[in-house]
Amino acid sequence: MDKYNVKCLLCGEVHDPHAQSCKRGDDSLLRTYYTAKQLIPGDLPGIWRYYDWLPTDGIIEEGSGRTVTYRSKGLAYALGLDELWIAFNGYWPEKDAYLMTCTFKDLESFPTMQRLREQKEKRVMVVASAGNTARAFAHVCSITGQPLLLVVPAQSAHRLWTLHDDNHSICLVTVDGDYFDAISLAGDISSREGFVNEGGARNVARRDGMATVMLDAVLTSKTLPDHYLQAVGSGTGGISAWEASMRLLEDGRFGTTLPKLHLGQSLPCAPLYSMWHGIETVDPACPRGMYDDVLFNRKPPFAVRGGVSDALEATGGTIYAVSNKEASRARELFEDCEGIDINPAAAVAVATLVQALEAGNVKPDERIVLNITGGGQKLLMRDYELKQLPVSLAVSAKDKEAGIKIVEKVSEIFGLQDDGV
């Protein structure tokens, strides 16, 4: 019997396990359905302990990091909460946390890479990112040697570091524009011969990798929470938490009610918040002025079947907008209470929790899971030398020849023939 199958949420048709969209053209995400209906963690490293609910037929052993969930004392006391569980994603040796890019994007990159290896994919993988996703894919590609083209906004290039000495499999291109410009350019390149797109929110490996945050939290606390909180850009992490919760309901051992999703965005550029609340769209100058621009995506998977809107409606959840001042205060509060540094996006999640409590949407006596999507970089810098990825090419989003220039640079770096790209 197959480990899993992949179905369209609109037509219900079973698709090729590596498909990223419905062949009938339905505007729907595909979803994995696993043969194992109860999750029994395996004796495998890191994220692979959840192998039965990951869409792969093997593992990358070097991917030994995973979410580490613990019950909060400090932050819970400061906020007057009875049961706050922190799902920490980052580097914190004291808690056996070893996500080596200090972000939960590692949870996406390793399953995605494993599926490419199973397909014996030799083409250049294309990833667009505002920073954290690119860093995670650079990490795994440095391990596996998979040729990788990273397309990132120029202002995000400082986030592109690794721990590896050998990064010859990576071509980093910066774009004078925002994240959407990077996505558009990456989409153009990946449609050409010799390139393959990693798929974004439509890639079930990415979503099911992120879903392990909820799996770890529930297996640690022994029950589904009443509330789940996370900062989001595209909202894919929220979708993943919803999908994981549905599987855990079907498991039958952890409760009968879906956790409510509370998703946070960073002002002044919060498209998902605007879409959900039916207000004016964000300023075209975005992402300028954001506390963390990795949380900005002009075209998130909101209305698509199985997307953010469906996830919020199914769980009775909502979206919050966090100011820079609120995020800064929340970051200071968390670090003082919990004793670990966190990334700006995680600070937005903490501020979201504060807002949810003040609004009465979350009650102090309810069970809460707070996803800290990145942290521990100060500790990592203490223990390791961070190596900045060199920029291979800089282009303008307005340059009509940008795509050609990138293809030429990739061919030069990876020694591809003209007909190979």
Identify whether residues 285 and 352 lie together within a single domain.
yes
pLDDT at 419 > cutoff 70: no
370 or 289, which is more confident? 370
Q: The pTM is what?
A: 0.95
Mean per-residue pLDDT for 12-17? 92
**CATH number of the domain that 140 lies in?**
3.40.50.1100
Identify whether residues 342 and 414 lie together within a single domain.
no
Identify whether residues 244 and 168 lie together within a single domain.
no
Digit-coded pLDDT (tens) for 65-85: 999 999 999 999 999 999 999
Digit-coded pLDDT (tens) for 211-259: 999 999 999 999 999 999 999 999 999 999 999 999 999 999 999 999 9
**127, 149 in Cβ contact below 8 A?**
yes
- Cα–Cα–Cα angle for 307, 313, 316, nearest 5°? 130
Identify whether residues 363 and 218 lie together within a single domain.
yes
Mean per-residue pLDDT for 280-303? 85
**366, 226 in Cβ contact below 8 A?**
yes
From the number of C-beta atoms within 10 Å of its C-beta (0-12, 13-18, 19+), residue 82 rates as exposed
Identify whether residues 92 and 233 lie together within a single domain.
yes
Q: What percent of the chain has pLDDT over 70?
A: 98
93 inside domain: yes
| Residue 262 bridge partners (DSSP) | 229, 318
Digit-coded pLDDT (tens) for 94-130: 999 999 999 999 999 999 999 999 999 889 999 988 8
Identify whether residues 296 and 412 lie together within a single domain.
no
Identify whether residues 261 and 123 lie together within a single domain.
no
- Sequential DSSP letters for 173-218: EEEES-HHHHHHHHHHHHTSTTEEE--GGG-HHHHHHHTHHHHHHH
Q: What percent of the chain has pLDDT over 90?
A: 82
| Residue 223 bridge partners (DSSP) | none
Identify whether residues 296 and 242 lie together within a single domain.
yes
Identify whether residues 114 and 259 lie together within a single domain.
no
Element (H, E) at 85: strand 83-92
Digit-coded pLDDT (tens) for 152-202: 999 889 999 999 988 889 999 999 987 778 888 998 999 898 999 888 899
**102, 376 in Cβ contact below 8 A?**
yes
Count up the domains in the chain and report the number: 2
pLDDT at 280 > cutoff 80: no
Residue 167 has a pLDDT of: 81
CA-closest candidate to residue 4, choices 26, 36, 29: 36
Query: What is the domain extent for residue 219?
Result: 68-103+206-380
Identify whether residues 224 and 350 lie together within a single domain.
yes
Residue 282 has a pLDDT of: 64
Residue 199 has a pLDDT of: 84
φ, ψ dihedrals at 306, nearest 5°: 85, 10
Mean per-residue pLDDT for 339-360? 98
3-class state of residue 170 by DSSP: strand
Cα 20 to Cα 306: distance, rounded to the nearest angstrom = 13
pLDDT band at 421 (very low <50, low <70, confident <90, very high): very low
Residue 417 has a pLDDT of: 52
Residue 420 has a pLDDT of: 42
pLDDT at 307 > cutoff 90: yes
| Residue 14 bridge partners (DSSP) | 7
Cα 80 to Cα 186: distance, rounded to the nearest angstrom = 46
Digit-coded pLDDT (tens) for 156-168: 899 999 999 888 8
Mean per-residue pLDDT for 389-408? 93
Compute the Cα dihedral for 292, 199, 124, 56 and give only its sign: positive
Identify whether residues 284 and 376 lie together within a single domain.
yes
Name the DSSP class of 226: S
3 inside domain: no
pLDDT band at 1 (very low <50, low <70, confident <90, very high): low
